Structure 1
Amino acid sequence: MESEKLFNEFNAVSSKEWKQKIQFELKGADYNETLVWESPEGIKVKPFYHVDEFENNVTVSTDVADFKILQKIFVHDVNKANEKAKDTLNRGAESIRFSIENENISLEDLFSDLPNETILYYFYLPFLSNDFVTKIESFSKQNKYQITLLIDSIGELAKEGNWFENLENDFAKLNQIATKNSLPFLNINAVTYQNAGANIVQQIAYTLAHVNEYFNRIENINTPITIEIAVGSNYFFEIAKLRALRMLFNILAKEYNHTSDCQIIATPTKRNKTLYDYNVNLLRTTTECMSAILGGANAVSNLAYDALYHKDNEFGDRISRNQLLVLKNESYFDKVNNPADGAYYIETLTEQLAEKALALFKDIEANGGFITQLIEGTIQRKIAESAQKEQELFENGKEILLGTNKYPNKNDQMKNDLELYPFVKQNPRKTLVTPIIEKRLAEKMEQERLSQE
């Protein structure tokens, strides 16, 4: 009550009065040219947002308090993967995502002494085997493990250029899994779109169209769908992206009588990460994880600062996990649900991104759907066009990556530190469609610097 009395002492200031004051301070400069800027998605961003220009909150439930710190583990050696999982869970990880190379692994060895019931385990499967799915489900029930499978035939087509087998066989197997299996199994790999240079509207629309193909081709999807998405550095836009995606997913799912909310796994993008001045990657991933959390991701998997050029290592993993632990336990990001509600800027961005993405989604559906447009090459061309626009901004110095195209340290030497090849890999092979190629903004500039060391 005291606060109400305090604020009642001040006269309300309308948006018109604010704008007049700003125009006076500009001393003749044009308001729109000076202070209003347009994003790559065609959204005009104003210098301020006011309650009298705002009608309703966008209804999105973002249960930030429930977000899990996710550790990704590649399973090459089962015993080593098991030891790493136990170690990371003891040091703050709350969920594990296993990437499984093949189905000839011992689940008993992989899960030896790992906690059950309280931890959610994801199984990313870059192959399609119904027998292995049955094996995992049986193991899960017998040992009371919570397991979510991540299977994405359309994502395989988009990223690799081929189905696991072919369209007909892939969907026959997926329908069989949907009928006979009780574990969540469908995954939407939307990370590829962001890392390849799609703008935010495209990312949302392509993810929706990707989901819609599954709704159309698989009967009775009764388990939650997982969406893996990459988060960029445009802080407020990325918060709005996740909110808009969840809102549109639920609208679409309702049309198919699918009642489960999507499960969003977010990870920082690779697109803006750099070899040189690599410690700046820590700053980038921190703000990107913040956007993911505030946008309502169910799980956040951080990207190690040295992931581009070093193999998995204990130090990089520990630092990336600790970034999330600081956000959760010291910055209290897990204490407030729906933190973006009522923030006029974020609410407006959410609404505008959702409207533009929905229009693009409808256009994709009117022109044959997502798979058809992948086969025709339309999706790949549109992403390439968006990526080229961003690349030109970077090369012209309008898109800044600190330490790379702004204030570079000429004494940095990286040639002898490369354990991994950090650029686009050439892998000539026969494909059904042109793959969507992930590429970082700084690659050309970095290759030139490496050649001069």
Structure 2
Amino acid sequence: MSENLFNEFEPVSSKQWKQQIQYELKGADYNETLIWESPEGIKVKPFYHIDEFKEPLQVTTHTSQFKICQNIFVHDIDKSVFRANETLKRGAEAIRFTIPNEDTDVEKLLNALPLESTPVYFNLNFLSIDFVKKLDAIAKAKNAVFFVQLDPIGQLTKDGNWHTNLDKDFESLNTIAIACSNIHFLSIDSSLYQNAGANIVQQIAYTLAHANEYFNRIATINKPVVLHVSVGTNYFFEIAKLRALRLLFGLLAKEYDHNFECHIIASPTKRNKTLYDYNVNMLRTTTECMSAILGGADAVSNLAYDAIYHKDNEFGDRISRNQLLVLKHESYFDKVNNPADGAYYIEELTQQLAEKGLALFKDIEANGGFLTQLKEGTIQRKIQESATKEQELFDDGKEILLGTNKYPNKLDKMNHDLELYPFVKSNPRKTLIIPIIEKRLAEKTEQQRLEEEKTNAGAE
């Protein structure tokens, strides 16, 4: 009976819809009134119809299997072990350890964890063959799934320098690729591009070009490559971004006979997070996590609402984890694979982002490749241009962050709550390239308000 439910209704064509809309506009221009253009140059229509729908894209996402991942910075081993076990008891399904140095006792860190059922990500701030070999041995002995996020190019883009130098860093990666067969050893940190202000097409193209450098320089990549992606606030565009990334990565990988899908771990962006009216950050991260899940992320690591100004704390972690638990177990986001399939708007966005991303990637390769354009400063300049455009929209009130440039609470005081410095830090030093710098949209406004707080406190 459900198959015949709408048979009594005449189908309405795309042309009929447009005619009705034009009539309702009472003479206003359809294109100027209802079609808007995104920063990526995509013209967004007011509706999408089956008449104009192309064949669906072949993008496979395993939404039902996405993992809730907890970030843990390893400073004190015992505290990190305790925290990891506690978060697993409270709903986390994967752990992402950030390890600052290779002296960390990784055997002690992992010994008390249920590794047979818990995927573990390792964000290493160094490149050490011996350390990675230890992880490989533990993974083999415990039958564990380890994602070791080694990314020397990411180190270069963020810091301006390699761990050692280009040749030695890639020599280390090639050694690890041959010696360590029980772990995923290669990662691409594309979150930096989003957090620095790159538009979505740039993020896709730079991620592909970043990956292409590894495919060209590493002889053996026999495990899926991890893509660490930041998810912004443009809900449908971000869903389409992850789908386009997965589609294009697959095309690129096949050129190198790499037959594994990429593994995406997604986190909310920092770029739109605010110091004042910080509870709004929870709303932002919720929709960003939704985009990540629907876009097909394999793991989602949420950002605590107070992450930009507080050190890691149990309350912030619990709230961020609970947001994902609600999405998974109460909103049923894990019940359907490929949830975006057949959605005309998302399919069209995915197609256009993929086409534009691929065109920019080809342009990068035609002009020397990613590392060459980093050295020349081309990538940095293009990101800065996009970031400046977005910053101008924010400063003019056309891009809105509630509580900051729209409906700010003048009584909100933050000067005495800062445990972390929430702004861009200056660190003058000699670098091989100009580093790509993350910067939040609200920084200038927040610095002015903090100065006013200090001035008013002094006057009192």
Establish whether residue 49 from structure 1 lines up as the match of residue 75 from structure 2: no
Letter in 2 for 1:330: E
Task: Give the distance between the partners of 2:94 and 2:3, measured in 1 at CA.
Answer: 44
Partner of 2:440: 440
Deviations 1:357-400 (A, max 9, x none): 00000000000000000011000000000000000000111100
Partner of 1:311: 311
Question: Are the counterparts in 2 of residues 189 and 227 from structure 1 also a CA contact under 8 Å?
Answer: yes
Task: Give the distance between the partners of 1:10 and 1:49, measured in 2 at CA.
Answer: 19
Structure 1 gaps, min length 5:
none
* TM-score (norm: length of structure 2): 0.97
Deviations 1:263-297 (A, max 9, x none): 00000000000000000000000000000000000
* TM-score (norm: length of structure 1): 0.99
User: Shift of the alpha carbon at 1:138?
Assistant: 1.2
Deviations 1:235-266 (A, max 9, x none): 00000000000000000000000011100000
Establish whether residue 228 from structure 1 lines up as the match of residue 228 from structure 2: yes
- Match of 1:408, SS? coil
- Match of 2:6, SS? helix
Question: Where does structure 1 differ by over 6 angstroms across 4 or more consecutive aligned residues?
Answer: none
Partner of 1:97: 96
Partner of 2:156: 157
Partner of 1:38: 37
Question: Are the counterparts in 2 of residues 187 and 227 from structure 1 also a CA contact under 8 Å?
Answer: yes
Percent of matched pairs sharing the same residue: 71
Superposition pairs for residues 414-429 of structure 1, below 5 Å? 414-429=414-429
- Match of 2:138, SS? helix
Partner of 2:136: 137
Deviations 1:94-115 (A, max 9, x none): 0001111112222232023210
Establish whether residue 174 from structure 1 lines up as the match of residue 181 from structure 2: no
Superposition pairs for residues 54-453 of structure 1, below 5 Å? 54-182=53-181, 183-453=183-453
Task: Give the distance between the partners of 1:218 and 1:445, measured in 2 at CA.
Answer: 45
Task: Give the distance between the partners of 1:9 and 1:18, measured in 2 at CA.
Answer: 19
Question: Are the counterparts in 2 of residues 122 and 147 from structure 1 also a CA contact under 8 Å?
Answer: yes
User: Shift of the alpha carbon at 1:149?
Assistant: 0.6
Task: Give the distance between the partners of 1:126 and 1:93, measured in 2 at CA.
Answer: 24
Q: How many residues align?
A: 452
Q: RMSD of the TM alignment (CA)?
A: 0.7
Partner of 1:26: 25
Q: 1:162 to 1:20 in 2, by over 3 A?
A: same
User: Shift of the alpha carbon at 1:145?
Assistant: 2.4
- Match of 2:97, SS? strand
Structure 2 gaps, min length 5:
454-460
- Match of 1:119, SS? coil
Letter in 1 for 2:364: I
- Match of 2:416, SS? helix
Task: Give the distance between the partners of 1:256 and 1:308, measured in 2 at CA.
Answer: 40
User: Shift of the alpha carbon at 1:124?
Assistant: 1.1
Task: Give the distance between the partners of 2:422 and 2:106, measured in 1 at CA.
Answer: 32
Task: Give the distance between the partners of 2:308 and 2:121, measured in 1 at CA.
Answer: 23
Deviations 1:303-362 (A, max 9, x none): 000001100000000000000000000000000111100000000000000000000000
Question: Are the counterparts in 2 of residues 107 and 139 from structure 1 also a CA contact under 8 Å?
Answer: no
Letter in 1 for 2:197: G
Letter in 1 for 2:258: H
User: Shift of the alpha carbon at 1:136?
Assistant: 1.4
Is the deviation greater in 109-118 or in 255-264?
109-118
Partner of 2:456: none
Task: Give the distance between the partners of 2:314 and 2:106, measured in 1 at CA.
Answer: 24
Letter in 2 for 1:84: R
Partner of 1:5: 4
